[in-house]
Amino acid sequence: MAGEQFVEHARDGDVHVLRLANPPVNTLRTEVRAGLLDGIQAAQREGARAILLIGNGRNFSAGAEMTEFGKPRKPPSLPEVFDAIEQSKVPVFAAIHGNALGGGLELALACHARVATPGAQVGLPEVKRGFVPGAGGTQRLPRLIGLEALRIIVSGEPVTAEEAQKLGFVDAVLPGDLEHAAVAWARENAGRQFTLARHRKDKIEGFDAAKFDEAAKKLTARSRGQESPLGCVAAVRAAFTQPFEEGLNVEREQFTRLVQGEQSQALRHIFFGEREAQRIPDLPADAKPLPVNRLVVIGGGTMGGGIAMSAANFGLPVTIVETSQEALDRGLKRCEANWQRTVSSGRLSQAEYEKRRALLSGTTDFEKAVGEADLVIEAVFENMEVKKEVFGRLDKAARPGVVLASNTSTLNIDEIASATKRPELVVGMHFFSPANVMRLLENVKGKASSPAAIATATEIGKRIGKLPVLVGNCDGFVGNRMTGKRGPQIEKLLLEGCLPQDIDRVMESYGMAMGPLATGDLAGLDIGAAVRKARGTVAPVADAVVAAGRLGQKTSKGYYDYDENRKRLPSQEVERIILDLAEKMQVRRRKIEDQEILERVLLPMVNEGARILEEGIAYRPIDIDVIFVNGFGWPAFRGGPMFFADRLGLKAVRDKLAHYAEVTGDRNLQPTALIEQLAKEGGSFATLKGPAKV
């Protein structure tokens, strides 16, 4: 039987140990389920006094095997395994170390009792993949711990073994070697009477609907249109209000509906995409990252400070170089204040703060600091002359072989590299603001960038907690280049009938963290104005808003008015500016439907994304989606712009783009050759077989 290979059956006297052995994380693939079933039956036949389930390697189990999703299910199912556990006359215990997540925790919940190592993580993260726990987790956990189960299931956040013990779903926390301690615990406790979770009533009695609904409302307040948190609420509610078997049916209905739904497909697309995007197809296998023990960041402003904090947060010593002691002090203080806020909120210990602070240093001695660097990231003003001057100096001061990276958001990496004698060691490392928070890192490959330089940028990005995605060199790279293309349509929408709040409402109910106009206010409207001035382009509404002294949140007014708590309020002045302009430009205003707003904001980005793929600026469509989800507030449950296009269908995308290009006179919306081709072939971005070369 194939299961034996995936579940080892060991006998420690009369305690039988079944070890899950499906590296690396013991997912519950078919063979594991079969092995468990066989093992449980065999142990009973052989007269075991107790059966202990434990994981090989670093985890108990990370849950279901995601690659089996959407394929015909092979028996035995998890519920069949759980039935065998619950019908067993011999008590079955789970011994948890590392993680017990999703189906892994559900397996443990079906057991007669659970023990765990200190610090083990237990949770039901299904909600984050767009569905609900599907093997009884929503029914058993509430029966073990009551209303607290709602928080764990709706948030999807794991808790530690210690917290789980306090809540009541871990029976003992055992230090030392887990198997050894758990076998002893099992032997000692085998004779006890255990009430299975399914038979427990004490925690679900006296259901208080008002209290439940209030808790549910709080927990789902930030779902922004995501369905799975509501599915979790419905399933958990059934645990309190219906018999166990009927509750299981409610859970199953929610699971089946959600797992096949678009949102969970989108979340899986992003889940796998984030791994895929870190694989660089044309990087030679022997490309090795250069060793980095000290990072030097040039410039301690908004970005430099954030980058330095990221390094220190992940244990990498870092030095900030500034032009004056005053600027340096300001930069270091900002980092300290930021960390202190985290300490005050209880999310960082004082000891951890001190550890991070000790890893961060600063200097105004450029040459000395750079001479000691293993990697330099430049984050000075966005000005080519300044950057070239800095890179010329960096090249002279840095040891040979050290990679010099720029955090520029728009400037040409090749031109920056030309100021050095080591263009092969120059790359872009484009962080996003706030750099200590945002996960995305667009690494930019210049025409001379060597595999070793790219491997180093990738490796360091991962080491300091980022998600590096390699892109090609062009104005705005991938993310900013695509979002920039929304501008003309947003201007037209404002003139034709929308107000800022209409556009932001549609985009936020789609799930965006923040609508485009509110985002503009946050970044500062003068930035866009400066770019337009440099490029000689106009945006009548934006220009008029800036001319009225409305630069965004920093002046307490932009597209919106802001009160003293930075709450945004619709602005009558902006409405008047827009209406006056529309009249002057003889645009007849009309009511614009939400769907049209959504399409006219998103489709220009899709078209530009296709152009980016044609030019080989991104390797794969998934890279673009990963960039938007991790750097631009695109909700993961919507899957990103290219996923959006695929769901609409490329033929519809083509037709809509052509239609909007014609009626709005925006030539940028002419469908690109790639979209024309995919529409004609009935293809999609997901199945695109591109050259995958950047």
**Beta carbon of residue 691, minimum distance to ligand NAD (angstroms, whole number):** 28
User: Does the footprint of ligand NAD cover residue 380 (CB under 6 A)?
Assistant: yes
Is 478 a binding residue for ligand NAD by CB under 6 A? The answer is: no
303 touching ligand NAD, by CB under 6 A: yes
Residue in 31, 65, 106, 148 annotated catalytic: 106
**Per-residue b/e over 511-534, b at no fewer than 16 CB within 10 Å?**
bbebbbbbbbbbebbeebbeebee
For the bound state, the minimum distance from the C-beta of residue 325 to ligand NAD, rounded and expressed in Å, comes to: 11
Tokens of 485: 């293309």
The b-or-e profile of 286-320 (16+ CB within 10 A means b, else e) is ebebbebebbbbbbbbebbbbbbbbbbbbebbbbb
Cβ atoms < 10 Å from Cβ of 651: 15
In whole angstroms, how close is the CB of 393 to ligand NAD at the nearest point?
8
Q: Which of 174/438 has CB closer to ligand NAD?
A: 438
Nearest approach in angstroms of CB 226 to ligand NAD is 27
Out of 382, 414, 415, 676, the residue judged to bind ligand NAD by CB under 6 A = 382
Query: From the CB of 464, what's the least distance to ligand NAD, in Å?
Result: 16
The verdict on 381 binding ligand NAD (CB under 6 A) reads: yes
Give the CB-side neighbour count of residue 451, counting CA atoms within 13 A. 9
Note whether 683 binds ligand NAD by CB under 6 A. Answer: no
Which run of H or E residues covers position 82?
helix 78-87
Contact range with ligand NAD by CB under 6 A, out of 142-150, 247-255, 377-385, 438-446: 377-385
CB of 291 to ligand NAD, least distance (A): 25
Q: Least distance (Å) from ligand NAD to the CB of residue 668?
A: 24
394 binds ligand NAD (CB under 6 A): no
Contact (Cβ atoms closer than 8 angstroms) between residue 606 and residue 598 = no
Within a 10 A sphere around the Cβ of 480, how many other Cβ atoms? 17
Determine if 390 is a binding residue for ligand NAD (CB under 6 A).
yes
Question: According to CB under 6 A, which one of 100, 197, 369, 379 is a site residue for ligand NAD?
Answer: 379
Q: What is the 3 state secondary structure string of 475-523?
A: CCCCHHHHHHCCHHHHHHHHHHCCCHHHHHHHHHHHCCCCCHHHHHHHH
Tell me which residue has tokens 């200190």. Answer: 118
Give kind and range of the element (H or E) at residue 114. Answer: strand 113-116
CB contact set of 596 (below 8 Å; sequence gap of 6+): none
CB nearer to ligand NAD: pick between 438 and 453: 438
> Which of 77, 249, 302, 363 is the binder for ligand NAD (CB under 6 A)?
302
Residue 490: CB minimum distance to ligand NAD, A: 19
Could you say which residues in the range 326-355 bind ligand NAD, by CB under 6 A? Answer: 327
Q: Is 126 a catalytic residue?
A: yes
Question: What is the three-class DSSP state of 53?
Answer: strand
Residue 108 vs 440, nearer CB to ligand NAD: 440
Rounded distance between C-alpha atoms, residue 562 and residue 588, angstroms: 29
Please select the residue that binds ligand NAD; options are 299, 540, 631, 639, rule is CB under 6 A.
Answer: 299
442 among known catalytic residues: no
- Judged by phi (left if over 0) then psi (alpha if -120 to 50, else beta), residue 559 lies in alpha
Query: Considering only residues 519-538, where is the footprint of ligand NAD by CB under 6 A?
Result: none
How far is residue 419's CA from residue 417's CA, in Å, rounded to a whole number? 5
Q: Which among 116-124, 126-134, 172-180, 296-304 is the span making contact with ligand NAD, rule CB under 6 A?
A: 296-304
Type of residue at 338: N
- Measured CA to CA, the distance from residue 479 to residue 632 in angstroms comes to 8
Look at strands 121-123 and 159-160 and give their pairing. Answer: antiparallel
Nearer to ligand NAD, 372 or 382 (CB): 382
Number of amino acids touching ligand NAD (CB under 6 A) = 23
| Stretch of residues binding ligand NAD (CB under 6 A), selected from 5-13, 236-244, 292-300, 348-356 | 292-300
Given the residues 65, 80, 86, 126, select the one marked as catalytic: 126
Instruction: Measure the CA dihedral 553/382/481/268, to 10°.
Output: -80
Q: Residues 322, 395, 521, 608: which binds ligand NAD (CB under 6 A)?
A: 322
The amino acid at residue 335 is: C
Q: For ligand NAD, which stretch binds (CB under 6 A), given 131-139, 320-328, 345-353, 614-622?
A: 320-328
The residue with its CB nearest to ligand NAD is 301
Q: Is 55 helix (H, G, I), strand (E, B) or coil?
A: strand
User: Smallest distance from the beta carbon of 462 to ligand NAD, in angstroms?
Assistant: 19
Q: Which of residues 403-462 bind ligand NAD (CB under 6 A)?
A: 407-409, 431-433
Catalytic residues: 106, 126
Residues making contact with ligand NAD (CB under 6 A): 298-304, 321-323, 327, 379-382, 386, 390, 407-409, 431-433
